[in-house]
Amino acid sequence: MSDQDRIEIHPEPVYGAGIWHFATYVDRYATDGYGEPRTVLDAIKLAGAVDDLAVVDLNWPFPPGNVSTAEVKDALAEEGLRAIAVTPEFYTGKFAKGGFTNPDPAVRRQAIELVAGSAEVGRELGVDYVKLWPGQDGYDYPFQADYTDLWDKSVDAVRELALAFPDLRFAIEYKPREPRNRMVFSSMARTLLAIEDMAVDNVGVLLDFGHSLYGGETPAEAARMAIARNRLFAIDVNDNFRGWDDDMVVGSVHLLETFEFFFALRDAGWDGVWQLDQFPFREDSVEAATAGIRTMRAFHHALDHLDRDALAAAQSAQDALRAQRIAKRALYRALAESESV
Amino acid sequence: MSDQDRIEIHPEPVYGAGIWHFATYVDRYATDGYGEPRTVLDAIKLAGAVDDLAVVDLNWPFPPGNVSTAEVKDALAEEGLRAIAVTPEFYTGKFAKGGFTNPDPAVRRQAIELVAGSAEVGRELGVDYVKLWPGQDGYDYPFQADYTDLWDKSVDAVRELALAFPDLRFAIEYKPREPRNRMVFSSMARTLLAIEDMAVDNVGVLLDFGHSLYGGETPAEAARMAIARNRLFAIDVNDNFRGWDDDMVVGSVHLLETFEFFFALRDAGWDGVWQLDQFPFREDSVEAATAGIRTMRAFHHALDHLDRDALAAAQSAQDALRAQRIAKRALYRALAESESV
Amino acid sequence: MSDQDRIEIHPEPVYGAGIWHFATYVDRYATDGYGEPRTVLDAIKLAGAVDDLAVVDLNWPFPPGNVSTAEVKDALAEEGLRAIAVTPEFYTGKFAKGGFTNPDPAVRRQAIELVAGSAEVGRELGVDYVKLWPGQDGYDYPFQADYTDLWDKSVDAVRELALAFPDLRFAIEYKPREPRNRMVFSSMARTLLAIEDMAVDNVGVLLDFGHSLYGGETPAEAARMAIARNRLFAIDVNDNFRGWDDDMVVGSVHLLETFEFFFALRDAGWDGVWQLDQFPFREDSVEAATAGIRTMRAFHHALDHLDRDALAAAQSAQDALRAQRIAKRALYRALAESESV
Amino acid sequence: MSDQDRIEIHPEPVYGAGIWHFATYVDRYATDGYGEPRTVLDAIKLAGAVDDLAVVDLNWPFPPGNVSTAEVKDALAEEGLRAIAVTPEFYTGKFAKGGFTNPDPAVRRQAIELVAGSAEVGRELGVDYVKLWPGQDGYDYPFQADYTDLWDKSVDAVRELALAFPDLRFAIEYKPREPRNRMVFSSMARTLLAIEDMAVDNVGVLLDFGHSLYGGETPAEAARMAIARNRLFAIDVNDNFRGWDDDMVVGSVHLLETFEFFFALRDAGWDGVWQLDQFPFREDSVEAATAGIRTMRAFHHALDHLDRDALAAAQSAQDALRAQRIAKRALYRALAESESV
């Protein structure tokens, strides 16, 4: 066999990152923070220092809260970056018992209005989608919640937003848990069912590789399912130890499954942004992003060299050893080249 | 508050069990078995020894394979039992790489025909549903499978069966894994999406409490979701340590969540059989079933005394402590009475 | 059988709590906090409002950092509380890459000195032990750390402290992970091995029920192991969903295993404080503590009524069903009484 | 930097496998088996077909039970294989409630005698160690067991065997669970503590990579701990999805952590056999072994090229990104070469 015969050169994907990749963090122990606080403008400057990073997803209100859209636009322009998305922060302390599902109707309304505000900013920035991550929408204890009520409120809120902004797209990022012990939008399939219940066209899913992985899904399989329903609006990648959303650097643990995920995207003809959602608590954020992109680029090259016919034949026989070998052959060569630079 | 005012006496539910509860087992270490093999007739006799057990779900072909339907009917009659379901065994060695999704079309056909055979027997026995547990339909390694293909074959096979037996109902039992490392019907939401793709009325879900639990779901929430779509055809209960399908006795670990599950069923007006799927590898099977039913009966009585208005109020405020206290008050009293006998 | 014959009335245990139970929290999403910040003095006042709470474990430096020992003493006296322990905070941002194991010797020295400072305050307060929770001592990525070096530095630091304060006792709280992805003192057995390596008498273990549970241990078994080696200096209790340190209210998920844990303590003659380590992120902290103590008190009464001879007989036959029934009989009665008040 | 300067050529390790790698299996569903049964002689023939496989660990009594030691010797000689170990099967049906810890003293005695019998055969075969895997020694339910009793019986039985065969070495293989829900020798540290309690020199640990991984350990760290105490008698490798003992082919999921494990072995000067414990339920066993050895050989070559000084420097700074990059540079090159053949 000669791999040379089968090369398909695809254009390089666009690489992106959540702007929080370049922030610093707190947790319940290091309440004073892992590093000094950074404004969105600081973070944009760092993002600009990462080669090949082209787009960013921006939290809104822009941290620490008093930065204008104009300032953000200027900062992006200066760094040659584009805003792919805006992420409204309706998961702060005020929304501790829920954003879309808060027991207090006034707080629920504030959550919806916050998202609406972000949507308007998103329009101004020309984003591809508004990201919805209802992190506080869920529950913590057995018997605490009326599950039907949580579901209905979640569906209703997103539908309302989708109808209010028909020119925009909304991408729901599901996650099994954290910060709530259990979340409403907890898996790909549940989120797709909820989107059906919304009965609108402009709502889809953001598949975060790590969320999918520690939620017990096979991310490549979840991606196929969403693409088949035209609902995969965006993806985020990172890695973890399969028990929590560790947001580690791409490929640092689950190399083969991450490669399989990108294979699924390309094989299905999905052409969105390859985007990082890493949290470098104790690492240099520019280096962490660079490392993540280096690995994604190796995946990209590996896919050019992957013997797809042979893989399809192995898969149609469910021949795990042969399929893995075909995938590894392409992957390891590309990784070796990538790391030898 | 007086609990007395709020008592709602419901009729006792019908209690059931998978007949395999009364079998013996092998695993990859004790290949010689945990106890002597038992035929389905032996198992029916043991089932008959359990007070309050009224219905059983029967593996087919009837173990060890040479037992006739007439013999089974007689044995059931003798013990005063009824067959609620039939479970075709399309997960044995022959189907190691899949039943509905086997790479070999001939084996796939055998799987479908095996189910069809069981359906005919089910008709004869007057069962409520044919249970589909495609245990070997899945994959083991990254890159081994074409997920879309597995999905399509699974959907097609069940649809074909549903159309072939329009007078019967088919209940898919989902499970995250085992014996395959990953299964096609792995969660409630995925299974509901697959059922939609089938576009038939006579396919629903069997929710196994343990599968749901170790799959990361909240079983009560999964039940609500299926009931809302009129697809909860049956349930099985047991318990585990949340990492594997341990099939332990009901309530031996997750008492409160199991009670919440039965609360969800009654609250939603679901009136199916309360059925055991325990595997007493090292326990007396009659005692294990008796213990499971004792706990289920305590749940039943506790539900009669549960202050539902107070619970609804606590839930609408997401007051976890209050909601738990209301649930515990009813539960502990019923359990104390149950254990004091 | 008459349970009456077997009652053994034990004196009520002393109930305690980490003072952080009465604080408010931040996490990486709600960076603005779940509620307004509270000083240690605020928290002591809340702790004082919990009936039956007698002792508290105090973070040091006393939050928010500028509270004097005299003020704390006065506040404790006012609320009728005693300091059972002091918990030095060598897991804040400065120690992001480790306290005892920080790559920078100067930071390592600061960690040791911080603990030493807390030990002096502990002496002044008359605590029973200094709690060591080296939350940042661990690692996050494969290949990141020299494990032998982390071990040696951890052992050396604790030994140095133990030798410097021979009149005090130090209790290491182990935990599988968080905030680091992996921690040095990650399990009971590893911690006992480390303590052996220290070769001092005044270092032991604080067993946190939740840490043990989500670390895959059986907490009752871990307790037995530590008691057999005279190293169980203290315990903390809470609950979780077995995948993370959720720090939920005692008994809200794993009722029977928590009861088994307290059974192990009493059966082995351990007579320390029954202490809460709950994090009521979204709950009223006084109510959460009250609920935890209510359940612990029910355990206490249940243990008085537990038929220990019958239990021993069932255990010596490994008769799971009988053993569980004996335990449940005592437990449910006590819980029913407790909840009926 | 030039990697060339740092190459250290180590002799090729000896590769081995458990002979069960070449057996067929049953589980609780495919009770008729994944393939036709094979005798130990069949399995030895298959093992002989694997290039580079030099030693095997043999179940005893030799499956299916009626094969003589002389026959096994001849078969090994014919295939150019050596017996590195013997694994007594004291985890079959008879020992369902325990081997060393069985409640029935007569069964306990049978377990000890079975091991003694295997030790004599092991002597005759010239094995390096007798492997002890007390798979049924544990418990399934809360309250079922007296943990101190299980511990004491386990320690006593192994000590008795070690004293009876002072010329042999015994290697305990720990595992968190399966077939019991919880096992006595469940982690590296617990096993080391038990070995201390035995107070003999000829008992050590067999570290199974997969057991360590799904037990929440970092296998490289566990290996270091055992080597530091001179107790790492043997290792087995495989892979899994971190939730169960899937016994998949080496490197199919956790490539980097497996490489780190072998790095730890070599770095600590450990020079035992690199041994497979894979269960190819649905794969060709010769191909699966070949694939596992191919990956191990790539690790071996990668270690020759690993820049250890640079890695040590990165680790001493806990610089995760740099450490990973150094490891990956060596690893990916070796893997690419390995797969290009």
Closest to D335 in 3D by CA, of A302, A7, A237, A12:
A302
Asked if residue A169 is part of any domain, the answer here is yes
Rg (alpha carbons) of chain B, rounded to whole number: 20
Per-residue buried b or exposed e for D329-340, using 16+ beta carbons within 10 Å of the residue's own CB: bbbbbbbbbbbe
- Checking if the pLDDT of A2 tops 50, the result is no
The per-residue pLDDT for range A38-73, each reduced to its tens digit, is 999 999 999 999 999 999 999 999 999 999 999 999
The answer to whether the Cα torsion of B123, B125, B128, B129 is positive or negative is negative
d(CA B256, CA B268): 18
Residue B241 C-alpha from the chain's centroid: 17
Q: Is B98 left (phi over 0), alpha (psi -120 to 50) or beta?
A: left
% of chain C surpassing 90 pLDDT: 96
Own/partner pairs, D100-106, CB within 8 angstroms, 24+ separation: D100/D134, D100/D137, D100/D153, D100/D154, D100/D156, D100/D157, D100/D158, D101/D134, D101/D137, D101/D138, D101/D149, D101/D150, D101/D153, D101/D154, D101/D157, D101/D184, D102/D136, D103/C316, D103/C317, D103/C318
What is the pLDDT confidence band of residue A9, given thresholds at 50, 70 and 90?
confident
- Nearest by CB to A256, from B103, B142, B176: name it: B142
- Checking if the pLDDT of B3 tops 80, the result is no
Contact at CB, C144 and D324, closer than 8 angstroms: yes
Cis upstream peptide for D64 (omega within 30°): yes
Asked if residue D307 is part of any domain, the answer here is no
Q: Please give the C-alpha separations between residue B8 and each of B15, B52, B233, B308, in angstroms, as whole numbers.
A: 20, 22, 25, 10
Predicted local confidence at residue A137, as pLDDT: 98
| Both tokens assigned to B76 | 């059931």
What is the pLDDT confidence band of residue C6, given thresholds at 50, 70 and 90?
low
d(CA C50, CA C275): 13
Say how many domains are in chain C: 1
Chain B: residue nearest C281 by CA? B320
- Counts of helices then strands in chain D (DSSP H, E): 11, 10
Asked if residue B327 is part of any domain, the answer here is no
d(CA D224, CA A278): 30
Q: Could you give the 3-state DSSP secondary structure of residue D213? A: helix
D310 and chain A: CB distance < 8 Å anywhere? no
DSSP string, C220-275: HHHHHHHHHTT-EEEEEB-B--SSS---BPTTSS-HHHHHHHHHHHHHTT----EE
d(CA B250, CA B237): 6
d(CA B174, CA B171): 9
Residues in chain D, how many?
Answer: 341
Strand partners, A236: A208
Closest to D299 in 3D by CA, of D255, D340, D249, D254:
D255
User: Domain limits at D62?
Assistant: 3-284
Mean pLDDT of all residues in A247-256:
98
The per-residue pLDDT for range D80-106, each reduced to its tens digit, is 999 999 999 999 999 999 999 999 999
The per-residue pLDDT for range A277-320, each reduced to its tens digit, is 999 999 999 999 999 999 999 999 999 999 999 999 999 999 99
The per-residue pLDDT for range A117-159, each reduced to its tens digit, is 999 999 999 999 999 999 999 999 999 999 999 999 999 999 9
Q: Could you give the 3-state DSSP secondary structure of residue A248? A: strand
Closest to B328 in 3D by CA, of B292, B299, B295, B293:
B299
A-chain residues near B143 (CB < 8 A): 256, 260, 263, 311, 315, 320, 323-324, 326-327
> What values do phi and psi take at A232, rounded to 5?
-85, 95
Predicted local confidence at residue B124, as pLDDT: 98
Predicted local confidence at residue D339, as pLDDT: 86
- Checking if the pLDDT of A341 tops 90, the result is no
Q: Which CATH number belongs to the domain containing residue D250 in this structure?
A: 3.20.20.150
- Checking if the pLDDT of D2 tops 50, the result is no
C323 and chain B: CB distance < 8 Å anywhere? no
d(CA D58, CA D131): 9
- Nearest by CB to C193, from D140, D189, D318: name it: D189
Best of C217, C244, C255 to disrupt the B interface (most B CBs within 10 Å) is: C255
- Checking if the pLDDT of C1 tops 50, the result is no
- Sheet harboring D53-60: ordered strands across? D232-236, D203-208, D170-173, D129-132, D82-88, D53-60, D15-18, D274-276
Closest to A232 in 3D by CA, of A197, A185, A270:
A270
> How close C265 gets to chain A, by Cα (Å)?
27
d(CA B197, CA C293): 51
Do residues D231 and D192 lie in contact, with contact meaning Cβ atoms separated by under 8 Å? yes
Contact at CB, B249 and D141, closer than 8 angstroms: yes
Predicted local confidence at residue D5, as pLDDT: 52
Asked if residue A323 is part of any domain, the answer here is no
| Both tokens assigned to A279 | 């949290």
Asked if residue B317 is part of any domain, the answer here is no
Asked if residue D245 is part of any domain, the answer here is yes
- Checking if the pLDDT of B2 tops 70, the result is no
Q: Please give the C-alpha separations between residue C72 and each of C16, C62, C67, C165, in angstroms, as whole numbers.
A: 17, 8, 7, 22
The per-residue pLDDT for range A154-197, each reduced to its tens digit, is 999 999 999 999 999 999 999 999 999 999 999 999 999 999 99
What is the pLDDT confidence band of residue C130, given thresholds at 50, 70 and 90?
very high
> What values do phi and psi take at A25, rounded to 5?
-130, 160
Specify the residue for token string 């709020």.
B6
Predicted local confidence at residue A1, as pLDDT: 40
A297 and chain D: CB distance < 8 Å anywhere? no
Predicted local confidence at residue B318, as pLDDT: 98
- For helices D285-305 and D320-340, the axis angle rounded to 10 degrees is 130
Counting one residue from B and one from C, how many pairs have CB atoms under 8 Å apart? 76
Q: Could you give the 3-state DSSP secondary structure of residue C39? A: coil
Cα–Cα–Cα angle for C291, C293, C295, rounded to 5 degrees:
70
- Checking if the pLDDT of C307 tops 50, the result is yes
d(CA B94, CA B88): 14
Region of poorest pLDDT, from A274-278, A337-341, B106-110, C23-27 = A337-341
Do residues A22 and A288 lie in contact, with contact meaning Cβ atoms separated by under 8 Å? no
The per-residue pLDDT for range B17-45, each reduced to its tens digit, is 999 999 999 999 999 999 999 999 999 99
Closest to A109 in 3D by CA, of A128, A120, A95:
A95
d(CA B307, CA B327): 8
Contact at CB, A216 and B215, closer than 8 angstroms: yes
Residue C106 CB-density burial (10 A; 0-12 exposed, 13-18 middle, 19+ buried)? exposed
The per-residue pLDDT for range B167-178, each reduced to its tens digit, is 999 999 999 999
- Checking if the pLDDT of B254 tops 60, the result is yes
Do residues B88 and B60 lie in contact, with contact meaning Cβ atoms separated by under 8 Å? yes
- Sheet harboring B53-60: ordered strands across? B232-236, B203-208, B170-173, B129-132, B82-88, B53-60, B15-18, B274-276
d(CA A104, CA A106): 5
- Checking if the pLDDT of C38 tops 60, the result is yes
| Both tokens assigned to A324 | 């893995």
A-chain residues near D329 (CB < 8 A): 339-340
Mean pLDDT of all residues in D293-321:
98
Q: Could you give the 3-state DSSP secondary structure of residue A284? A: coil
What is the pLDDT confidence band of residue B339, given thresholds at 50, 70 and 90?
confident
The per-residue pLDDT for range B93-147, each reduced to its tens digit, is 999 999 999 999 999 999 999 999 999 999 999 999 999 999 999 999 999 999 9
d(CA A198, CA A154): 10
C223 and chain B: CB distance < 8 Å anywhere? no
Element (H, E) at C304: helix C285-305
Counting one residue from A and one from B, how many pairs have CB atoms under 8 Å apart? 131
Do residues A131 and A173 lie in contact, with contact meaning Cβ atoms separated by under 8 Å? yes
The answer to whether the Cα torsion of D27, D32, D36, D42 is positive or negative is positive
For chain B, the average pLDDT equals 97
Closest to A158 in 3D by CA, of A127, A207, A188, A192:
A192
Type of residue at B34 = Y
d(CA C91, CA A163): 47
- For helices D40-48 and D69-79, the axis angle rounded to 10 degrees is 10
% of chain B surpassing 90 pLDDT: 96
Asked if residue A175 is part of any domain, the answer here is yes
Do residues D43 and D29 lie in contact, with contact meaning Cβ atoms separated by under 8 Å? no
B136 and chain D: CB distance < 8 Å anywhere? yes
Best of D102, D137, D144 to disrupt the C interface (most C CBs within 10 Å) is: D144
Contacts of B313 (CB under 8 A, 6+ apart): none
Tell me how crowded residue C144 is: count the other CB atoms within 10 A of its CB. 28
Asked if residue B294 is part of any domain, the answer here is no
Rg (alpha carbons) of chain C, rounded to whole number: 20
For chain D, the average pLDDT equals 97
What is the pLDDT confidence band of residue B340, given thresholds at 50, 70 and 90?
confident
Element (H, E) at B270: none
Chain A: residue nearest D289 by CA? A321
- Counts of helices then strands in chain C (DSSP H, E): 11, 10
Predicted local confidence at residue B258, as pLDDT: 98
